Structure 1
C-alpha cells in the first residue's frame, strides 16, 4: 500500500515539509487554479511535479481532473471540452502522472451542513445534518418538493430550526454546503444556486447516466492508450441532493459504471466514507466485488444516525469495519503482485479527519487538518502492518 496525502498546493496552509513528517510518501494533488474545461499545460504540470519530487515525494494520483458541467448536462457541442480533457490527460501522462481520481456529481461536490461539529473528547468534525439540510432545501431554497425526501419528524424540526435561526446561522449553513468545492470557481448565494439548479431541469437519473456513459466512451479509450487509470469517486453523500440525481452511490451503480465501458482503465476510487454513509452499503463487500478495479482508496469512517444524518468518525471507529476493508485491499494488492504487475501497489490516503489540538488554531481546508489526518494515517498504518505480518506475499 502506498501511503499518500492530499495536498492542495498554494491553496493549502499545510506545507510539504510538514507532510513529510507524517511518513506519507505519495502526494495526491491537482491544479485547482485552472478553470474547469481548460487544458492543463504540460509545463504547469511539470512545475507542480517538480515541487512534489523536490520535497521527496511521488505525485501518485491526480485528484481531480474536473469534468465541466456541460458534459454532465450533455449541453451543446462538447467536442472541444472532450478534446481539452484528453489533451490534459496526455500532458499528465507525459509527466508520468497516470492515475486520475474524478467524480460525476452534478453541480456540487461533497456536501456537509456543519464544518465544525463538536466531537467527544474535544475537537471538531464535518457533519451532514438531515434537519439542517431539509431546512436549507425547503425553507431557504424554497424547494417544496424536497419534503418527500425527509421524514415528518425531520420536516418538523427543520421548520423549527429555520424559524429560530438568525441570518448569520443561515449564512453559515450556506457556506458549509458550498465548502465542498475547494479550488472550484463557482460559489453560489441562494439565488445563484436556484439558477444553477435550473440548468439541470429535466435531467433525471437515466439522462445523467447516458451523459456519463458518453464521457466514459470519449475518455477511457484514450486512458487505455496512454496507460492511465481512471477511478471514479462515489457520491458524497450517496443520495440525491437538491433534486439532483446521484448515480455513483451503491454496488449496483458501480457495477453499471464498470460495465458501461468494460476496460481495466475504467476503475473505482474506493471511498469508505462516502459509501459508508449509505446504510444499505456493505463497504468491505463492495470492495471485494470490485477489487480488481480499485485504483485508489480513500479511507475514512462515518457514524450514521437513523434520520439520515452522519458525521466523520475516527478512522477505526464509525460504522464501517475498517480492518475487514483493509484486508480486502491487502489481499488484492497481493493478488496483483503474484500476477506480476509492476504497479501492484494501491495508493491510499487518510481521508478527512478531526480538527484537534493545534489544528484548531490554524486556518485549514475543512476536513483536511494535519494532526487529525496524521492520527488516521498512523492508525491505518498499524492495521496494514498487522494484516501484512505473516501474509504469504508480505
Structure 2
C-alpha cells in the first residue's frame, strides 16, 4: 500500500506541503488543475508547475484526482468527440510527467452531495452530513432556488457554470436512463482506454456518492454488480476503479472487503474512510476508527493486505478538529490521524499474518 494525500494546490488549500511531509509514510500528493474547466485540455506549463512544487518536498505526482468529464460526454451529445479529444491529449501530457493513475467520475450534474458541511458530532467536532429525507422527492426546479437561498446545500465548485445552468442540465437529463448513461460511458472508455494504456496510465472511476439516484438523475456506480459490469465494458487493466469505502459504505448492503478481493487487480487507487449510517438512511462522516462508524475499516485494510495490494491509498474526508479552518472534509488533522490508524491496522495485520 502506497500512501498519498490529496492536495488542492498553492493558494487553494490551507494545508501546506511541508505539513503533509511530516505525516509518516506519505510519499505523494493527489492533485488536479482545479482552475481548468471540465472538457478543456490541461496546459503543460501548469502540469509541470505542480510537479516542481511536489518534487521540491520529495513527493511524486503519480495520482491525479480528477480529470473531470464534460457533461456533453455523459449526455452523449454530438459535441462529445471534441471534449474526448481534449481528454486524450490531457492523458498524454500526464503520461509524459509520470502520472500512473487518473481518478474520474461519471456522475450526472453533481459530484458528491451533502446537506450540511458542518454537522456537529458528540465530541464537538464537525463533519459532512447527508439528510436523506431532505432530498427525497424534491423537484429539481425547487432545488435550483434552494441552492441559491439555503447555505445547507452544497455542490462541488469545480465547474462554476453549473450553478448558472442547473435548470438546463436537469432538463437535458430528463430522458437519460441508466442504460443510456452506461452506453455513453462505454463510448467514452472505448475512446480513452487505448490512449491511457499506451501512456502507462490506469483510469480509475470513482463510485457515485451517495450510491443511489438523487433528484431523479441516473447513477450507475453504486455497488459490486455495477463495478463488475464497468470492468467488462472494456476488459483491460487500464480500466479500473477508485474503490471508495465511504461512498460505497453509505449503503450498508455493500460488502467492501468482498469487492476488494474480487476486483483487487483492477483497483489502482483506494479511498479509505468511515461513515456512520443511521436507520433512516442519513449518514455522517466520522473518524477512521472502525468503532466510530458503520464501515469495517480494519476488515477493509485486511482485505487489501490479503491481496498484496501495492496500489495507492489515501484517507478521504475527515472531520474538522480543534478550530481548524479548511476546505470542508479536507483538513490536516483528522486525515493525518486517519493515516496513522490505517498504518497501525496494516502493521498489526502484517505482524499477525507472520505469526509474531
Q: TM-score range by the shorter chain?
A: over 0.9
Report what 2:76 is aligned to: 74
* TM-score in terms of structure 1 length: 0.85
Report what 2:344 is aligned to: 382
* Cα deviations by residue, 1:365-393 (Å, 9 ceiling, x for unpaired): 1111111111111111111111122545x
State the 1:82 CA deviation.
1.3
Distance in 1 (alpha carbons) for counterparts of 2:71 and 2:143: 21
Distance in 1 (alpha carbons) for counterparts of 2:100 and 2:233: 21
Provide the secondary structure at the position in 1 that maps to 2:252.
coil
State the 1:268 CA deviation.
0.9
Do structure 1's residue 124 and structure 2's residue 126 form an aligned pair?
Answer: yes
Give ranges in structure 1 of 5+ residues lacking alignment: 144-166, 335-344
Provide the secondary structure at the position in 2 that maps to 1:132.
helix
Distance in 2 (alpha carbons) for counterparts of 1:188 and 1:182: 9
State the 1:184 CA deviation.
2.5
Listed as ranges, the matches of 1:54-65 within 5 Å are 54-65=56-67
Q: Please say if residues 302 and 311 of structure 1, whose CA atoms lie closer than 8 Å, have aligned partners that are also in contact.
A: yes
Q: Please say if residues 204 and 268 of structure 2, whose CA atoms lie closer than 8 Å, have aligned partners that are also in contact.
A: yes
State the 1:320 CA deviation.
1.5
Distance in 2 (alpha carbons) for counterparts of 1:123 and 1:275: 23
State the 1:169 CA deviation.
10
* TM-score in terms of structure 2 length: 0.93
**Which stretch of the first structure deviates more once superposed, 237-246 or 318-327?**
318-327
Matching residue within 31, 34, 53 for 2:33: 31
Greater Cα radius of gyration, structure 1 or 2: 1
Go from structure 1 to structure 2 and tell me whether the alpha carbon gap of 1:288 and 1:256 turns closer, same or farther (over 3 Å shift): same
Aligned residues: 352
Do structure 1's residue 198 and structure 2's residue 171 form an aligned pair?
Answer: yes
Distance in 1 (alpha carbons) for counterparts of 2:144 and 2:344: 48
Go from structure 1 to structure 2 and tell me whether the alpha carbon gap of 1:274 and 1:371 turns closer, same or farther (over 3 Å shift): same
Distance in 1 (alpha carbons) for counterparts of 2:105 and 2:158: 15
State the 1:139 CA deviation.
8.8
Do structure 1's residue 230 and structure 2's residue 203 form an aligned pair?
Answer: yes
Q: Please say if residues 141 and 194 of structure 1, whose CA atoms lie closer than 8 Å, have aligned partners that are also in contact.
A: no
Listed as ranges, the matches of 1:35-50 within 5 Å are 35-50=37-52
Report what 1:148 is aligned to: none
Report what 1:158 is aligned to: none
Report what 1:287 is aligned to: 260
Go from structure 1 to structure 2 and tell me whether the alpha carbon gap of 1:184 and 1:333 turns closer, same or farther (over 3 Å shift): farther
Q: Please say if residues 42 and 95 of structure 1, whose CA atoms lie closer than 8 Å, have aligned partners that are also in contact.
A: no
Distance in 2 (alpha carbons) for counterparts of 1:15 and 1:75: 40
Distance in 2 (alpha carbons) for counterparts of 1:142 and 1:61: 34
Distance in 1 (alpha carbons) for counterparts of 2:149 and 2:274: 28
Provide the secondary structure at the position in 2 that maps to 1:188.
helix
Distance in 2 (alpha carbons) for counterparts of 1:281 and 1:168: 30
Distance in 1 (alpha carbons) for counterparts of 2:209 and 2:147: 26
Report what 2:297 is aligned to: 322
More helix, by proportion = 1
* Cα deviations by residue, 1:80-127 (Å, 9 ceiling, x for unpaired): 211111110000000111210110101100000010001111110101
Give ranges in structure 2 of 5+ residues lacking alignment: none
Report what 1:146 is aligned to: none
Distance in 1 (alpha carbons) for counterparts of 2:148 and 2:188: 39
Go from structure 1 to structure 2 and tell me whether the alpha carbon gap of 1:168 and 1:349 turns closer, same or farther (over 3 Å shift): closer
Distance in 2 (alpha carbons) for counterparts of 1:265 and 1:299: 21
Provide the secondary structure at the position in 2 that maps to 1:43.
helix
Provide the secondary structure at the position in 2 that maps to 1:62.
strand
State the 1:333 CA deviation.
2.5
State the 1:21 CA deviation.
1.9
Listed as ranges, the matches of 1:167-316 within 5 Å are 170-174=149-153, 176=154, 178=155, 181-188=156-163, 192-316=165-289
- Aligned-CA RMSD value: 2.2
Provide the secondary structure at the position in 2 that maps to 1:389.
helix
